[in-house]
Amino acid sequence: MGYVIFYDLSYFLNNPIEILQIWNGGMSFHGGLLGVILSSIIFAKSKKIEVFEYLDVIAIVTPIGLFFGRIANFINSELYGKSTEVFWSVKFLKVDNISRHPSQLYEAFLEGIILFIILIYFKSNKKNTNHGFLSGIFLIFYSIFRFISEFFRVPDPQIGYLVLNLTLGQLISFVFLLFGLILVSIKYEKR
């Protein structure tokens, strides 16, 4: 649903039956993140678990899934990078014969490995014990890493570049960054 709403709403409004055709691809991490947050809130409340405590656990393990998801994008020649002549460039023969940035590997490294290390660091720091603080840290660093990596990635063809030559992924990441900053500020002040 995130892909439908964020990335191709007008198409799907004209072709609503295709919303159910999930085998045709199209995913949005930001939409998935909103779905995980909503379902986590419902689950935590039904089990009488503190919501932010549960969301912090989800935040810590999410980079592992992001890492493997981006590796899968690389293997499947999805979300490929812009053309380049850097020596580590890759040719996605399913796409074309152009040397491109392996943007999926950049994201796997930043959103997977580095983000996981950052979250573990903050988790082990006993000063930051307020539930929700780690969720805010996740939103901040994921957004920063996604914003940076989008400069190396080909934008979605049906959208292209938007305001200030930024992609939709960058603009949505900026919104999530603001929510992360607000959450960290609130949870840090409670300490």
* Tens of pLDDT, residue by residue, the chain (191 residues): 777 777 777 888 888 888 777 767 666 788 888 889 999 999 999 999 999 999 999 999 999 999 999 999 999 999 999 999 999 999 999 999 999 999 999 999 999 999 999 999 999 987 767 899 999 999 999 999 999 999 999 998 888 899 999 999 999 999 999 999 999 999 876 65
DSSP codes, 21-61: -GGG----HHHHHHHHHHHHHHHHHHTT--HHHHHHHHHHH
The pLDDT score that the predictor gives to residue 53 is: 94
CA dihedral over 127, 133, 137, 140, signed as positive or negative: negative
Q: What is the pLDDT of residue 4?
A: 76
Report whether 111 contacts 144 (CB < 8 A).
no
Domain map of the chain by residue range?
49-190
Burial class (CB in 10 A: 0-12, 13-18, 19+), 187: buried
